[in-house]
Chain A
Amino acid sequence: DAGVIQSPRHEVTEMGQEVTLRCKPISGHNSLFWYRQTMMRGLELLIYFNNNVPIDDSGMPEDRFSAKMPNASFSTLKIQPSEPRDSAVYFCASSLLWGGNQPQHFGDGTRLSIL
């Protein structure tokens, strides 16, 4: 079975450019999570969706960040305009929405470098 699929795997862009990260959750999973990982701050939850609805976006650092989930099989995380401090690895994870916290399964991540 296919796991969580993220694209692109690597992104290098200049400051000020728009960046769009994409995620396809595991089929049948109805919770989706966006994380950011850096050496300094570890793994941080940015936002999560249940049944395509954003539930908690308190981890989104600034208005420059936005996330959407137009359907059950696709989500995007957008940064506009990007800044060097946004450089990090961004992970998407998905889980079943049932009876409390279920195991989350992570994609391979997008390594983002803002020059």
Chain B
Amino acid sequence: QKEVEQNSGPLSVPEGAIASLNCTYSDRVSQSFFWYRQYSGKSPELIMSIYSNGDKEDGRFTAQLNKASQYVSLLIRDSQPSDSATYLCAVGASGTYKYIFGTGTRLKVLA
């Protein structure tokens, strides 16, 4: 059973701080990794995709991938109250076109 694990939170950080969200996965040959943000009552919104080991930056967001250790993380710099949401980690299941989603980490940015 391929799995994706996330801490459900809530993760509380003060405004302006760095929020660090982590995700581990079991499928050793997965090649595609995605972070989605989901506000309450809304649909998941793609934030980042990452396919290679290392860091990928996009504005205040940085995705980090370590395939050897089977984890992927999302850093949010200068966190804002508007970043308060649930963050879903998705891993492409090898040999298929589908994702395995984690259960999400709820982030609360305190003003």
Contact = CB atoms under 8 A, between A and B. Distances in A.
Given A101-B32, A103-B34, A48 B43 contact: no
A108 B45 CA distance: 10
| Interface residues on chain B, size class | 20 to 34
Contacts of A101: 31-32, 92-93, 97-99
Given A42-B103, A43-B88, A103 B97 contact: no
Interface string A86-110: 0000010001010011111111110
B97 A106 contact: no
Contact of B97 (A42, A55, A105, A107): A55
Interface in A21-74: 31, 33, 42-43, 45, 48, 50, 55-56
A48 to B, nearest CB: 6
A2 B92 CA distance: 25
Interface of B: 31-32, 34, 42-46, 49, 88, 90, 92-93, 96-99, 101-104
Interface of A: 31, 33, 42-43, 45, 48, 50, 55-56, 91, 95, 97, 100-109
15 contacts: A31-B97, A43-B101, A48-B98, A56-B96, A91-B43, A91-B44, A95-B97, A100-B31, A101-B32, A101-B93, A103-B34, A103-B46, A104-B34, A104-B46, A108-B42
